[in-house]
Amino acid sequence: MATKKKAAKPVVRKAAAPKKSQDIELDDDVGLERERPDVPPPLEHLIEPVRTLLKGVGEDPRREGLAKTPERFVRAMDFLTSGYRKDPRQILEKALFHESYDDMVVVKDIEIYSLCEHHLLPFFGRIHIGYIPNGKIVGLSKLARLADVFARRLQVQERLTEEVAATLNEVLQPRGVAVVVEAKHLCMVMRGVEKQNSWMVTSSMLGEFRENEATRKEFLTLVSPGRARS
Ligand SMILES: [Zn+2]
């Protein structure tokens, strides 16, 4: 099934260092840095519950440092869950090209930041994405955007990994897709549940990456998961 025609070198890209805003081509997102005291009407009703939460932990929500915290928190949550309002398929479909290139394409070390759905605390790390085209390729920056759309939702790392792989598989219909996510979960490290340096690694292998051990190994060697992270 998986016959490798030639031993051409696979394309491996390291994800570009993120810009200061953390955003790659995100035009319509509200950046966290931009601080506006007013909150859009659909979010207004969330402010009072956050004040209640502050009181609940023993704070005085009226003191200077906390007065605007509910608004800031609501805006931050709005941004961190903005992936619900984006269509991941559309992002890929807008940048599809017909191309006969048929060796492995790998983009590694894409930074991701997400929120665990069990504790609403961040988990963050890197995602490595590979695929073997079958007549269609996609703009490389779109892979990072695809990862962001799923990361900016309430997540578990396993599902995030699978959703990225499945969407790529569905839209590109490639010969195979491989996704590896390495992340650190603040709900584990901050609460002392796990050793401070534990990374969780998840992977999703489809098509030739699942069927062909050599192909899978080639991908894993290229992204070398498990290496020491700084
Ligand atoms: Zn958690």
How far is the centre of ligand 1, averaged over its atoms, from the C-alpha of 188 (Å)? 7
Given a contact cutoff of 8 angstroms between Cβ atoms, the answer to whether 226 and 198 are in contact is no
Tell me which architecture the domain covering 11-18+88-223 has in CATH.
Answer: 2-Layer Sandwich (3.30)
How far is the centre of ligand 1, averaged over its atoms, from the C-alpha of 76 (Å)? 18
Given a contact cutoff of 8 angstroms between Cβ atoms, the answer to whether 179 and 169 are in contact is no
How far is the centre of ligand 1, averaged over its atoms, from the C-alpha of 198 (Å)? 14
SS3 sequence of 169-190 = HHHHCCCEEEEEEEEEEHHHHC
How far is the centre of ligand 1, averaged over its atoms, from the C-alpha of 122 (Å)? 8
What local confidence, expressed as pLDDT, does residue 63 receive? 96
How far is the centre of ligand 1, averaged over its atoms, from the C-alpha of 208 (Å)? 33
Q: Is the dihedral of CA 140, 144, 149, 155 positive or negative?
A: positive
- Asked, colleague to colleague, whether 11-18+88-223 and 41-80 share their fold, the answer is no
Q: How far apart, in Å, are the Cα atoms of 85 and each of 22, 65, 79, 168?
A: 18, 31, 10, 19
How far is the centre of ligand 1, averaged over its atoms, from the C-alpha of 126 (Å)? 17
How far is the centre of ligand 1, averaged over its atoms, from the C-alpha of 124 (Å)? 12
Q: How far apart are CA 230 and CA 222, in angstroms?
A: 19
Backbone angles phi, psi at 180, to 5 degrees: -125, 135
How far is the centre of ligand 1, averaged over its atoms, from the C-alpha of 199 (Å)? 13
User: Is 41-80 assigned to CATH 3.10.620.30?
Assistant: no
How far is the centre of ligand 1, averaged over its atoms, from the C-alpha of 9 (Å)? 39
| One pLDDT digit (tens) per residue for the chain, 230 residues | 444 445 566 777 777 665 554 444 443 444 444 455 577 777 899 999 999 999 999 999 999 999 999 999 999 999 999 999 999 999 999 999 999 988 999 999 999 999 999 999 999 999 999 999 999 999 999 999 999 999 999 999 999 999 999 999 999 999 999 999 999 999 998 887 766 678 999 999 999 999 999 999 999 999 985 554 54
How far is the centre of ligand 1, averaged over its atoms, from the C-alpha of 119 (Å)? 4
Q: How far apart are CA 230 and CA 212, in angstroms?
A: 32
How far is the centre of ligand 1, averaged over its atoms, from the C-alpha of 204 (Å)? 21
What local confidence, expressed as pLDDT, does residue 33 receive? 46
What local confidence, expressed as pLDDT, does residue 34 receive? 47
How far is the centre of ligand 1, averaged over its atoms, from the C-alpha of 182 (Å)? 15
How far is the centre of ligand 1, averaged over its atoms, from the C-alpha of 185 (Å)? 7
Question: Per-domain residue ranges for the chain?
Answer: 11-18+88-223, 41-80
How far is the centre of ligand 1, averaged over its atoms, from the C-alpha of 149 (Å)? 19
Q: How far apart, in Å, are the Cα atoms of 189 and each of 93, 119, 151, 171?
A: 38, 12, 19, 36
How far is the centre of ligand 1, averaged over its atoms, from the C-alpha of 74 (Å)? 20
How far is the centre of ligand 1, averaged over its atoms, from the C-alpha of 71 (Å)? 24
